Amino acid sequence: MNILFIADPLESFKIYKDTTFAMMREAQRRGHRISACEPQHMGWQTGSQVAAQVRHVRLTGDAQAWFAADAARPDGPAAIAGFDAVIMRKDPPFDSEYFYATHLLEQAEREGARVFNRPRALRDHPEKLAILEFAQFSGPTLVTRSAADIRRFHAAHQDIILKPLDGMGGMGIFRVKADGLNLGAIIETLNKNGAESVMVQKFLPEIAQGDKRVLVIGGKPVPFSLARIPQGSEVRGNLAAGGLGVAQPLSRRDFEIAEALGPVLASRGLLLAGIDVIGDHVTEINVTSPTCFQEIFDQAGFDVAAMFIDALEAALAAR
């Protein structure tokens, strides 16, 4: 099987923890051939199919020079639909260029490509707003541009978290306690004088036990989560913000959430989703490039990458 990974530059990968690398490694182990490109390398022209400038690679097993060109397949332009599977793994931000990339990939689907996660599903499930559909599993939440609404929410809940809708890795997250210190400045920073929407959530003290990444593959939960535990005085558990990742078995509530959301997400073309859970509450649903495969494998011994490639192979066989 020929698999194309659309991702960030290969040279930027930190392979000791990179989930896309774990997927590639498992795919090659099974005899599948690996290719890669970036969204910027895709294009379309009247009378032709969506194509990209593609690198055909093989993994070397060397921790430094971890990939090499596949001498049997010279790099060059290739139709996206010519691959057996296309794995969209570009990291956020979900900006205009990402949006345009999903439209190119949707055209490639019309030409016969099999894309995971499906481009339309990526557009339809913005990672913070996706929880609106599953409000029964989330804590008190407000999405607004209104400074007055944010102040009323703070007055009601006293201890709140504010964050931009397009952030990743803990970027732009603020906590405001009962004293309201700097609330006005934070609102101005995030909503840009009413020009941009903000998500506000009641602070969940269970964050001290970790922001759990619950992975769902092919509609089924991975039996271990990665709890990302804030360190020191930090309120954010994100690994990119210095959180400590601890693999742990799913709780009964984690399973309840994953088993409720998983089949719904899978039916819409989301082969892989990462549900963020603090305590008993869903805070985000990650669909662009969910991570934590290697941390879970290294600590708990569960091969998440193998589960993912199993699901990919099953999805392709079911066509």
Per-residue model confidence as pLDDT tens digits over 117-149: 999 999 999 989 999 999 999 999 999 999 999
Q: What percent of the chain lies above the pLDDT cut of 70? A: 100
Residue 202 known to be catalytic: no
Q: Is the domain defined by 140-203 classed in CATH 3.30.1490.20?
A: yes
Tell me the angle at which helices 19-29 and 293-300 cross, rounded to the nearest 10 degrees: 70
Is residue 169 within 8 A of residue 238, CB to CB? The reply is: yes
pLDDT of residue 232: 81
Structure tokens at 131: 């929880």
Catalytic: which of 18, 106, 228, 295?
Answer: 228
pLDDT of residue 236: 78
Largest CA distance in the chain: 65
Distance CA 166, CA 132 (A): 16
End-to-end CA distance of the chain: give it in Å, rounded: 15
- Omega before 117 within 30 of 0, i.e. cis: yes
Q: In terms of C-beta distances under 8 Å and separation of at least 24 residues, what long-range contacts does 172-179 make, across chains too?
A: 173/235, 173/236, 175/203, 175/235, 177/203
Domain boundaries along the sequence of the chain: 2-122, 140-203, 206-317
For the chain, the average pLDDT equals 96
Residue 268 known to be catalytic: no
Residue 110 known to be catalytic: no
Residue 284 known to be catalytic: yes
In terms of pLDDT, which residue wins out, 217 or 319? Answer: 217
Pick the CATH number of 2-122 from 3.30.70.330, 3.90.1860.10, 3.40.50.300, 3.40.50.20: 3.40.50.20
pLDDT of residue 140: 97
Return the number of other C-beta atoms located less than 10 Å from residue 179's C-beta.
Answer: 9
Q: If DSSP codes are grouped into helix, strand and coil, which group holds residue 147?
A: helix
Backbone angles phi, psi at 198, to 5 degrees: -130, 145
The residue type at 184: G
> pLDDT tens digits, residue range 47-94?
999 999 999 999 999 999 999 999 999 999 999 999 999 999 999 888
Which residues contact residue 314 at a Cβ distance below 8 angstroms, ignoring those fewer than 6 apart?
Answer: 218
Question: Under the phi-then-psi rule, with left for phi > 0, alpha for psi from -120 to 50, and beta for the rest, what region is 47?
Answer: left
> pLDDT tens digits, residue range 292-305?
999 999 999 999 99
pLDDT of residue 130: 96
Distance CA 163, CA 11 (A): 30
- Omega before 92 within 30 of 0, i.e. cis: no
Catalytic: which of 109, 127, 254, 284?
Answer: 284
Residue 163 known to be catalytic: yes
Q: What is the arithmetic mean of pLDDT over 27-54? A: 98
Catalytic: which of 236, 238, 254, 295?
Answer: 236
Residue 213 known to be catalytic: yes
pTM (2 decimals)?
0.94
Q: Is the domain defined by 206-317 classed in CATH 3.30.470.20?
A: yes
Residue 33 known to be catalytic: no
